[in-house]
């Protein structure tokens, strides 16, 4: 697998963040990250900041939980501090300057993760429809650069029957798909854009992941026909 390029990471954050992005204010928000006052409902506008984390910070977490995080994910996550990582179809872990690894730790520090990690399945993000966590599948993998990504249905309570097929062949390909998705959905419906993942990631989204993404497309079409969105 390839190492994610700095340009790919920067492109993702360029298309993810746009002026006017808001998050709910907490005491852990540094002033340097805020580009507005807190409004009457508790929201504020924010901007990404240059990250200061080191690879060793992530290695400490790996050691604590007996988990393995791929280099591409670490390089992506440590590049910036950012208040939110919700891309609609995937919710990535944010990184706040005052609590930069809190979400990464929370993804590993709960009862489902405790059951999955010994099997080499490492939770790192959330599926957009609240099915459960996205996991890196480190099983039968030799290179630590990147891993295939699956969804785990948390209703299975740790049983591996809740594990989906591979929906992205790697974190690098997922970032590429999400970057494309974030750009194109400014003008098009989600269900119109998702099929283009199949060409971007033919070994994952366009192969074993096609059943999952086809179901997302059909659900999106049904919602549009019934509700108009």
Is 28 part of a structural domain of the chain? Answer: yes
Which long-range contacts link 72-77 to residues 24+ away (Cβ below 8 Å)?
72/1, 72/3, 72/4, 72/145, 72/146, 72/170, 72/171, 72/172, 72/175, 73/124, 73/136, 73/146, 73/171, 75/3, 75/4, 75/9, 76/4, 76/9, 76/12, 76/171, 76/175, 77/51, 77/53, 77/104
Rounded-to-integer distance, Cα 30 and Cα 142, Å: 40
Is 13 part of a structural domain of the chain? Answer: yes
Dihedral sign computed on CA atoms, order 157, 137, 108, 101: negative
Number of domains in the chain: 1
- pLDDT tens digit sequence for 44-84: 999 999 999 999 999 999 999 999 999 999 999 999 999 99
Q: Does the structure show a pLDDT above 80 at 1?
A: no
The arithmetic mean of pLDDT across residues 156-161, rounded, is 96
Q: Does the structure show a pLDDT above 80 at 200?
A: yes
Range of the structural domain that residue 123 is part of: 6-227
Is 1 part of a structural domain of the chain? Answer: no
Q: Which residue has the tokens 């690879």?
A: 55
Is 203 part of a structural domain of the chain? Answer: yes
* CATH number of the domain within which 138 lies: 3.40.1580.20
Is 109 part of a structural domain of the chain? Answer: yes
Write down the pTM of the prediction.
0.95
Sorting pLDDT into bands at 50, 70 and 90, what band is 228? Answer: confident
Mean pLDDT, the chain, as a whole number? 95
Sorting pLDDT into bands at 50, 70 and 90, what band is 163? Answer: very high
């Amino acid at each position: 697998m390839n190492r994610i390029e700095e340009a790919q990471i920067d492109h993702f954050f360029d298309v993810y963040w746009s002026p006017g992005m808001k998050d709910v204010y907490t005491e852990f928000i540094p002033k340097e990250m805020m580009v507005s006052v807190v409004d009457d409902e508790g929201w504020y506008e924010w901007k990404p900041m240059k990250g200061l984390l080191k690879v060793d910070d992530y290695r400490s977490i790996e050691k604590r939980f007996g988990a393995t995080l791929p280099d591409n994910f670490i390089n992506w996550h440590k590049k910036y501090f950012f208040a939110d990582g919700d891309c609609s179809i995937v919710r990535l872990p944010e990184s706040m300057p005052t609590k930069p690894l809190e979400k990464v730790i929370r993804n590993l520090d709960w009862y489902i993760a405790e059951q999955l990690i010994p099997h080499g399945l490492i939770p790192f993000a959330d599926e957009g429809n609240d099915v459960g966590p996205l996991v890196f599948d480190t099983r039968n993998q030799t290179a630590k650069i990147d891993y295939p990504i699956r969804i785990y249905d948390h209703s299975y309570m740790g049983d591996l029957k809740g594990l989906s097929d591979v929906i992205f062949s790697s974190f690098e390909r997922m970032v590429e798909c999400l970057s494309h998705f974030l750009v194109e959905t400014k003008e098009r419906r989600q269900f119109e854009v998702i099929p283009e993942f199949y060409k971007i990631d033919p070994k994952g989204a366009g192969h074993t992941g096609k059943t999952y993404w086809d179901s997302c497309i059909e659900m999106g079409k049904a919602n549009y026909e019934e509700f108009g969105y």
